[in-house]
Amino acid sequence: MMNLKGLSINPKIWGPILSLVAIIVIMGIIDPGFVRIEFKDGRFYGSLIDVLVRATPTAIIALGMAVVIGTRGIDLSVGSVVAICGAVAAMLITETDLSFASVMVLSLAAGGVIGMLNGIMVSYIGIQPIIATLILMVSGRGIAQLITGGRSVSFDSVAMDIIGSGMFLAIPVRIWIAAGLLLLTILVMRKTAIGLFIESVGANARASRYVGIEARLFKMFAYVFSGICAALAGVILIADVGIAEINRLGLWLELDAILAVVLAGGSLNGGRIYLGLTIIGALIIQTLTTIIFSSGVPVEYNLIVKASIILAVLLVQSPTTQAAIKDLNMKRKGVRT
């Protein structure tokens, strides 16, 4: 950390923000239309607005993933949870006369139950998080297919249309939903003891037990929250297109969510949760995705870029790399003195 005229600047905090700004600036120089925003018919238009809108599901899932990773866990099942809960919502809309509020509650509850099952396997049975959640990652889309009978389910719902493409104060409703969830998560994680307990469990679960913190309970909470976030993202995704296509719904979103947390500076070793920076990480991912798609590059390159970023960030965060950088800085200071 360095101090500039009394202002403390933490590279770990400003790194993701400056990275996002640099990407946007560079793209704006290459294509000025990328940063152009217009206001027509009561709403904003432009590539940057599209980035915000399309990043919403990833950002919501990444919030849950950040909490799980904060406990030194991981949730590979979120993409499948998106598919399952999207299928549940679509079937409830088309096959029942339930109100929209009931559909939402049941869909989110389904995600919470799935998260609870993951939490039980990790916390109480003792299965490694990557294995426990991999089980549902593999089987989840099959479960979603069973729910829909193996077909794509289309529906017509005014309330879902509002979530998918509605506007409030010239801002898409789904952005308001994501902002509300972020605010709620910050309040819970930063204004109550829950956040402190979760981070302490991730830093050292054994020490947490010695001071009376029920580590298993807070790990369970993290996975339940992740499941609810994935369920909400699933509802938003099907609301966007008016159809639940199980084979594609939520595909690879677990990769995007993990990458967003890693880009935010979160360590897979747990102990720290960066909520605001996780949103920045999701925006970086979506900005890169939008740039790749708009440039006409085949979609396969999108996955290669994401995987390369994950590898680069993990290499930078590795203890070996950090030790090498520290040694290099010490040698430079030695030479100067």
Residue 8: Cβ-neighbour burial (10 angstroms; 0-12, 13-18, 19+): exposed
pTM: 0.87
The domains of the chain are located at 55-324
- The rounded percent of the chain whose pLDDT value lies above 70 is 90
- Quick check: 2 pLDDT over 60? no
- Quick check: 24 pLDDT over 80? yes
- The rounded percent of the chain whose pLDDT value lies above 90 is 31
* Average pLDDT over every residue of 147-167: 86
The count of other CB atoms within 10 Å of the CB of residue 63 is 29
Whether the CB-CB separation of 320 and 85 falls below 8 Å is answered with: no
Structure tokens at 33: 């239309």
Right CATH for 55-324 from 1.10.10, 1.10.45, 1.10.1760, 1.10.3470: 1.10.3470
Which amino acid is it at 100?
F
